[in-house]
Amino acid sequence: MEVVAMINRAVLVGHLTRNPELRYTSGGAAVATFTIAVNRSFTSQNGERQADFINCVIWRKPAENFSNFTSKGSLVGIDGRIQTRNYENQQGQRVYVTEVVVDNFSLLESRAEADKRREESNSYSQHQPGSTVPTSDSGENSSAPSSAGNQNDSFANDGAEIDISDDDLPF
């Protein structure tokens, strides 16, 4: 009997289409889902660049790190495997889902580039009729630019030393 090695690897580079959605299973395992837009290598007949929108899932500590360090528009590289699963929806229909189960990821933009993109996005949305930018009294999780300087900086910690293990970093 001949044994044939099977390969299931997906390596993708793209931009997040929305913020990752982080949840926890009943057993306490972190799981984040997100979609990345991956440009195709060719243009349409009209000269327009098209993209594929790939659903992804990442588990445990990497899921928490991914959610903490990325947001809508972030440029990321992912390495994983393609998986198809199915379930029965509320109408009793069988639903099939194909997604990339992420094993590793890389942040492909600097923190300064990410902050600039977020600021431009917030500035754009503030000038659109009917749009709002979420804010909070404490400044935590606020996406609006702050006049207080470090109020939105996750790493500021009011000047106190940050207790973080190298194992907690995504790189």
pLDDT, one tens digit per residue, over 23-47 is 999 999 999 999 999 999 888 888 8
Report if residue 167 sits inside a domain: no
pLDDT above 70 covers a percentage of the chain that reads: 70
Report if residue 171 sits inside a domain: no
pLDDT (0 to 100) of residue 140:
38
- 8 and 89 fall within a common domain: yes
- 10 and 81 fall within a common domain: yes
- 86 and 119 fall within a common domain: no
Report if residue 25 sits inside a domain: yes
pLDDT (0 to 100) of residue 136:
36
- 102 and 127 fall within a common domain: no
- 4 and 46 fall within a common domain: yes
- Which phi and psi (to 5°) does residue 70 adopt? -130, 160
pLDDT band with cut points at 50, 70 and 90 for residue 167: low
Query: What is the rounded average pLDDT of the residues 121-128?
Result: 59
**Range(s) of the domain holding residue 19:** 1-109
- 87 and 52 fall within a common domain: yes
Q: Is 141 left (phi over 0), alpha (psi -120 to 50) or beta?
A: left
Tokens of 130: 């009917």
pLDDT above 70 (res 146): no
Report if residue 95 sits inside a domain: yes
pLDDT (0 to 100) of residue 112:
82
Burial class for 105, CB neighbours closer than 10 Å (0-12, 13-18, 19+) = buried
How many domains does the chain contain in total? 2
- 51 and 74 fall within a common domain: yes
What is the pLDDT of the chain when averaged over all its residues?
78
pLDDT (0 to 100) of residue 123:
65
- Which phi and psi (to 5°) does residue 30 adopt? -75, 140
Last residue of a domain, one of 79, 109, 139: 109
